[in-house]
Amino acid sequence: MFGWMRRAVAYYATTTGRAGSTYKKFCNPNARDWGAYLGRWGKFYSVGENIHINPGCNVTDPTLVRLGTNVGLSDCTLIGHDGVVALIEFATGKHLDSVGYIDIKDNCFIGHGAIVMPRVTIGPNAIVAAGAVVTKDVAPGTVVGGNPAKFICTTEALIKRVEERCAAYPWIDLINQRQGAYDPELEPILAARRRQYFFGNEDHG
């Protein structure tokens, strides 16, 4: 019943840049679609190709953010300014400004709950772990985590570790068949195999 309404809202928002909050709430776009919407209408300084942005991502100053190609932003926060200057001005009368760019290079991923502070360059080929607080540049090809974020390993080492873990999964054949990161036809089968592998046949009702 509401399918045509969602399609109409999505079309209007994605073609005009208006009603973004309605589009997000009513249509619940995935990270790819929301990334495409923000890439066109989000007022970033510049955006590359294949941008995935979760609807829960918060970007305070998009005009100060540059995103490369193949970038994923989970439910993270990118902060481009320091609001304390308003308090300083009120308390001391000093007129100050505290802003900074955020430059996320190609092939980078920012995890859930991570916070990226101003004046930071990330990557290329870098990963920010969930919950990390990034206050300094993240070197190319590295994984960082913690508060403040520190080096954990290289991206290459992480990929190798994940590959080794995947080799033991009995559903890896389905992963190899999957078209993209999410395949609606295979996902129910994958979910069932994962549950059985981790929890056995126990009743989880």
Ordered alpha helix ranges (H), 29-186: 31-41, 84-92, 155-166, 172-177
For the chain, give the longest Cα–Cα distance.
67
CA–CA–CA angle 185, 188, 191 (5° rounding): 135
pLDDT score of 204? 56
**Which alpha helices (DSSP H) does 17-57 contain, by range?**
20-27, 31-41
**How confident is the model at residue 202, as a pLDDT?**
63
Q: What is the pLDDT of residue 177?
A: 85
Residue 183: predicted pLDDT: 81
Separation CA 171–CA 182 (nearest Å): 14
Indicate which residues carry an active-site annotation: 81
> For position 201, what pLDDT does the model report?
74
pLDDT at residue 135 in the model? 97
Every domain of the chain and the residues it spans: 1-42, 44-154, 169-205
Specify the pTM: 0.89
**Is the Cβ–Cβ distance between 158 and 127 less than 8 Å?**
yes
| Residue range 184-203, pLDDT digits in tens | 888 899 999 999 999 987 66
The per-residue pLDDT for range 153-189, each reduced to its tens digit, is 999 999 999 999 999 899 999 888 887 777 888 889 9
Q: Which of 42, 40, 90 is nearest to 64 (CA)?
A: 42
Record the tokens describing residue 55, joined without a space: 């609807």
- Backbone phi and psi for residue 102, each to the nearest 5 degrees, phi listed first: -130, 120
Domain 44-154 classification at class level: mainly beta
Looking at this protein, which amino acid is placed at residue 55?
P
Neighbours of 54 (CB within 10 A): 17
* Predicted confidence pLDDT, tens digits, the chain (205 residues): 578 888 899 989 999 999 999 999 999 999 999 999 999 999 999 999 999 999 999 999 999 999 999 999 999 999 999 888 888 998 999 998 989 999 999 999 999 999 999 999 999 999 999 999 999 999 999 999 999 999 999 999 999 999 999 998 999 998 888 877 778 888 899 999 999 999 987 665 5
Q: What is the pLDDT of residue 58?
A: 96
